Amino acid sequence: MELAGVDPGRGEDDEHGRPRRRGQGELATEVLSVLHRAPGPVTASWVQEQLDGELAYTTVMTILSRLLAKQAVVRSRAGRAYVWSAAADAAGLTARRMRRLLDTEPDRDAVLASFVTALTPEDEQLLRSLLNAAEPSAEGGSRDDGR
């Protein structure tokens, strides 16, 4: 019997000899990884096959639906079925998660200040360069902040 959240195909056991449980978000990450490697939009069955069939089809559909709600994937009709693809690359998805977390914080200034002070000098320089490159042009254009 296969238990939800248990990964029998990996052969990794915990200290008690039981199959290791996946961490939160690990399944979604695996599904997104499969979609990034896909040759184009693919069906949920194709995703399931790429995961070595270790997950039930309904589990794959649940994960894809949750990712759709988070705007991490897109879907479109192909005949009677849906085909799925990643909405962004890995960096774009991480940036979206960071933005979503920032949007939940009541004191954005404190969060951003804490983030900036924790950067390495190299990351701080990279961030400065990226911000300078994204500055509005002198012709009056403005930066799209995604809101």
Beta bridge partners of 76: 83
**Residue carrying the six token digits 């940036």:** 95
Alpha-carbon span 62 to 147, nearest angstrom: 28
Higher pLDDT, 2 or 71: 71
Beta bridge partners of 73: 86
Please compute Rg for the chain using Cα positions: 20
Name the DSSP letter for residue 18.
P
According to the model, what pLDDT value does residue 29 have?
Answer: 87
- Of 53, 54, 57, 45, the closest CA to residue 82 belongs to 45
CB atoms under 10 Å from CB of 50, counted, come to: 17
According to the model, what pLDDT value does residue 13 have?
Answer: 61
Reported as a single tens digit per residue, the pLDDT across 71-128 is 899 999 999 999 999 998 878 878 888 898 999 999 999 999 999 999 999 999 999 9
Higher pLDDT, 3 or 98: 98
* Residue 37, CA distances (Å) to 28, 74, 89, 90 in order: 14, 15, 11, 12
Reported as a single tens digit per residue, the pLDDT across 6-62 is 343 444 566 767 666 776 688 988 999 999 999 999 999 999 999 987 889 999 999
According to the model, what pLDDT value does residue 59 have?
Answer: 94
